[in-house]
Structures are given as C-alpha cells and as structure tokens.
Amino acid sequence: MWKLKPEKKPITDMKKLTILLFVILSVTGYSQTVKPSDLAHTFSIVARDTRTGEMAVAVQSHWFSVGTVVAWGEAGVGVVATQSFVNKSFGLRGLDLLKQGKSPQDALDQLLSDDNGKEFRQVAILDIKGRVATHTGKNCLESAGHSNGDNFSVQANMMLNDKVVPAMEKAWKENDALPLAERMVEVLKAAQKAGGDIRGKQSAALLVVSPNNTGKPWDDRLIDLRVDDATDPITELSRLLNVSRAYEHMNKGDLYVEKNDMPKAMEEYNQAMKMFPGNLEMQYWTAITLANGKEIAKASAMLQKIYRQDANWRELTKRLPKAGLLTVSETELKELTK
C-alpha cells in the first residue's frame, strides 16, 4: 500500500535567516561562541542629557525581548548598547571598566582586544561625561553603520537601507527641547520611518538612569520600559512612557499627601488623570484624597462612577479605614460606599 508522507511544516523566513547566519558563522569558525538568543540585529541610541545629566539607551529590533540583550546602564557610570552578534558580557563588563576610571574608548578597546568575534559586533559606550566610543565590525550585516558625537551615539545593522543612521542623528539633534526619554523615542521613530530593520518590527526598550549613584539602585533607574513582542513596538513604547509619566505625577501627589499638602496633591493627581484618563486606579486614589480632605460629596460622586465600572473598588473602600488610609466617620463612610 502507498503511504502518504507526512506534510512538512514550512520553514519561516526567520528560521531560514537564522540557519543561513549559522552557516556563515560555521564557515568563519565563529559559530561556537554565538547562540540564537545573541542575534540581536537592531538599531539603537545611547545618549546623555546635558541639562539633567541623565543617560539612556533606546532600541528596537525584529527580535524577541531585545531590551534584555542590548540595553545596559548604571547610574553615575554610563550606558552600553551591545548588538549585532551580541556579546552580552560587554554590558556589565563595559560598565565595570568605566567604574575603574577608563574612558569609553579604552573600555571598548579592552572589550574587543580578546574577542574573536569582534568583526561581527556592534557596540556603543557612553559615560557620565558624555564621552562616547562606538564600534561597527566589518562583518556586521548591511546596512550597518554608526554616527556619534558629544553626548550621543546612534548605531544600526541589518537595516533596509543606509538612510537609517543619518535619520537617527538628525532626529536626535532636532528634538533637543524634549526630555531625554521622549527624545530617545523620537530617534527610534525616525529610524523606523527611514526604513528600519529589514526584517520588520517586534520589540523595543528604553532605559534611563540617574547621573548620580545614590546607593539606591531602585531609585537610580529612572525609567525601565520593555515591549518584548508587539506588532508596533515603538508606538507601544511611547504609550508606556506616557503612562510612566502619569504615574510620576501620582507618586508626587502621594508625597504631598504625606506632607498634608492637599492642594498640591490634587494638582498632581489631576495631571495624572489628564494623561491617563481611562485608569480607574488614578481616579480612585484621587477620590480617596478628596475624602480625607473632607470633600465627601466630590469624593462620593467620583467613587460612584468608579463603582459602576467595577464594584470591587467599593469593597476596597470599606477596607481602607482599618489600614488608616481613609480617615472618615462611619456616616461619611456610608456615603462613600453607598
């Protein structure tokens, strides 16, 4: 009897590309040092804000979770972008060399000195003084290149065309009035508009660190946003940055509440709600702040709208007095939870 052969699953373009890359690497004798997770071909920027001293890395790639591979930074030290056929150790090692007092160029030279894959690497290092050093190996996939200057470096490989890097530099220089994080996102947008990664889009990341190391890394990492898998990662990254800014206002509002400065607290909360109007949490804690300020009628009106969308918030309100987060009378509590 004839037997039907099992249908072969088609090989995706990404799989074909990965197989091809490993064939190339095997021929060059380099494949033993590269894993599939290291193939972060991408475009990125490392930069420093001359006004605040903040330093940042922003990146996009057609590769899953690019932020976990490319972007590295430490407050009071500098930032590193390591990409193409990535040597992930360059991130932490590069930062450590900066902490030892080496310049970005000296640090980069040392990283590459004993790396047998250096011609496949693309690396950018920026320090607290805004000095930069960048390397694009001759075997990085076209279009590949970089451009740098005081306080910035833009770099890209496996791009659709050679217009991406110039577009990134132009966007960096033209958006100097923006805060650093928003400026970095504009650079990513310009890169994508110019052609971007020849394979398309998948992930993006933005890391911003403080110019000063306070010994509290949980405070010194100012922004750390990642879009690991999305059809339009830069748009999503931009949205998340806006949400992050809204929560900054919420945090400031909480600090004013601790100081019992309710007018300033409400000003911050209102700013947050304007930036993220659909977020019930922001509306809820604004209402609770009003209640603690004895504006029960206003608070109740806000809370009723929230309860209609999700009744669980009513139950939460009932639990707040026990924790000392809502200081109202029994009568006022009934008004707030009706």
Task: Answer yes or no: is pLDDT of 15 > 60.
Answer: no
Query: Which ranges constitute the DSSP H helices of 1-66?
Result: 13-28
pLDDT per residue as tens digits for the range 311-324: 999 999 999 999 99
Q: Which two tokens stand for residue 317?
A: 């309100």
Residue in the block written with tokens 């009378």: 329
Instruction: Write down all domains in the chain, each with its CATH number in brackets.
Output: 36-231 (3.60.20.10), 247-337 (1.25.40.10)
- Structure letter (DSSP) for residue 213: -
Which token pair is 216?
A: 């509290």
- Residue 170: CA atoms inside 13 Å, Cβ hemisphere, count? 10
Phi-psi region of 336 (alpha: psi -120 to 50; beta: other; left: phi over 0): alpha
Q: Each residue of 136-191: pLDDT tens digit?
A: 999 999 999 999 999 999 999 999 999 999 999 999 999 999 999 999 999 999 99
pTM for this model (two decimals): 0.86
Q: How many Å apart are CA 30 and CA 266, to the nearest integer?
A: 59
Give me the percent of the chain exceeding a pLDDT of 70. 88
Average confidence (pLDDT) over 205-213: 97
Per-residue pLDDT, 262 = 85
Taking the CA atoms of the chain, what radius of gyration do you get in angstroms?
A: 25
